[in-house]
Copies of this chain bind each other. A is one copy, B any other.
Amino acid sequence: MNAPSSHTLQQLLDARYGQGPQTLDCINETIETLMQHRSVRAFTDQPLAPNTLELLIAAAQSASTSSNLQTWSVIAVEDPARKQRLSALAGNQVFINSCPLFLVWIADLARMQSMGETRGKTTGSLDYLEMMLVATIDSALAAQNAAIAAESLGLGTCYIGAIRNDLEGVARELGLPPRAFATFGMCVGYADPAQRSAIKPRLPQASVLHKEQYNLSVHGDVVETYNDTMDAFYAAQAMKPLGAWDLHSLNRVRGPEAMNGRDAMTAALHRLGFALK
């Protein structure tokens, strides 16, 4: 069921870091699946095989979850009209309409709240930022397992952070109860082979991997190299150049005017039942 093993680990590492050589062995099918990842934003109309959704969720539920509280949910959206409305809420990313399955991952404290009411127990911790983070992390670990399972089956995926542009609109569309919010969406489907994406290079390991203590000084030295790597990547992919990676990235975080509504998230979460103490 896996993609044909046409790449060596060395080729995958070269693609991921835009440079070589590195010496790593111990490849296996799972690591190859992980390292083959690229986001897919164009899908064929091929439907998923029967029971694919249930298999993805079984993989998701196999991920670690804090204290086995399982503070996440997922909404499987296949209705074209609902996908279209969610696409509009998520920055008009029209390719959401083209995937057969759109998963919306939920940080879910509503089940705990409901259990507390049934048992007549206080649930004061749910009002704290910590429990919102627990639920967010739970949803991310589950989602990443589902993404990997999907890719191992030859499917393509794409995370949709823009689902957070309008948390309340999304909550209404999905009928979320209080104390639940969408952390991100995920497109799932078969990649359009005519628009196959490439493995995107990442920062050198020295920027993100620190030994014993954090070392920020390394990063400054590698930014220019990585800017060059990304320039070469966009050129090789015949993609529109975005400008130097650091400048392009900084432009995205320049201030609330660039946040597509997510600067209002704290207030929105309050209204959705998260006190965030």
Chain B residues within an 8 Å CB radius of A210: 73-76, 174
**Is there contact, CB below 8 Å, between A123 and B76?**
no
Number of interface residues of A (CB under 8 A): 133
Q: Which of A140, A200, A223 has the most CB of B within 10 A?
A: A140
Q: Contact string, A244-277, partner B, CB cutoff 8 A, digits 1/0?
A: 0111011111111011001101100100000011
A121 at the interface (CB under 8 A from B): yes
In the complex, which residue of chain B has the Cβ closest to the Cβ of A254? Answer: B122
Q: How far is the CA of A210 from the CA of B110 in the complex (A)?
A: 14
Q: Identify the stretch in A49-57, A92-100, A189-197 within 8 Å (CB) of chain B at 4 or more residues.
A: A49-57
**Is there contact, CB below 8 Å, between A70 and B214?**
no
Q: Contact string, A51-67, partner B, CB cutoff 8 A, digits 1/0?
A: 11111011111111111
Q: How far is the CA of A51 from the CA of B106 in the complex (A)?
A: 36
**Is there contact, CB below 8 Å, between B124 and A249?**
no
Q: How far is the CA of A76 from the CA of B108 in the complex (A)?
A: 31
- 18 residue pairs bridging A and B, Cβ less than 8 Å apart: A24-B55, A24-B58, A26-B153, A30-B148, A35-B58, A37-B62, A70-B202, A74-B209, A110-B216, A114-B219, A115-B223, A119-B247, A125-B255, A133-B265, A137-B137, A140-B140, A144-B144, A276-B276
